[in-house]
Amino acid sequence: MTKPGPPREIDELSEFLTEKFDEIYDKIENLENSNNIAMKIEISFSGVGKEKFSYKRKYAAKQSKSG
């Protein structure tokens, strides 16, 4: 008997969360004084194996040269 893999719903949930976190991050990034943003979210799913969803994204302010 083979060990069952993670349910497909885990992949769908991970994709959904990534899209939502990207939307949130983009809104934060557009705020004034947003030059030092780092967002790290880690969610562990319990019940089936040790599935883990991890989301990391960093933003560095763009240097604008006035000339």
Q: What local confidence, expressed as pLDDT, does residue 46 receive?
A: 63
Query: What are the residues whose beta carbons fall under 8 Å from the beta carbon of 47, sequence distance 6 or more?
Result: none
Q: Specify whether the CB–CB gap between 2 and 8 falls below 8 A.
A: no
Question: Is the whole model's pTM more than 0.75, yes or no?
Answer: no
Band of residue 66 on the pLDDT scale cut at 50, 70, 90:
very low
Band of residue 2 on the pLDDT scale cut at 50, 70, 90:
low
In angstroms, the CA 47 to CA 45 distance is: 7
22-64 pLDDT per residue, tens: 888 888 777 766 666 677 777 766 666 666 777 777 655 554 4
The answer on pLDDT for 65 being more than 50 is no
In what helix (H) or strand (E) does residue 38 lie, and over which residues does it extend? strand 36-44
Q: How many CA atoms lie within 13 A of 22 on its CB side?
A: 6
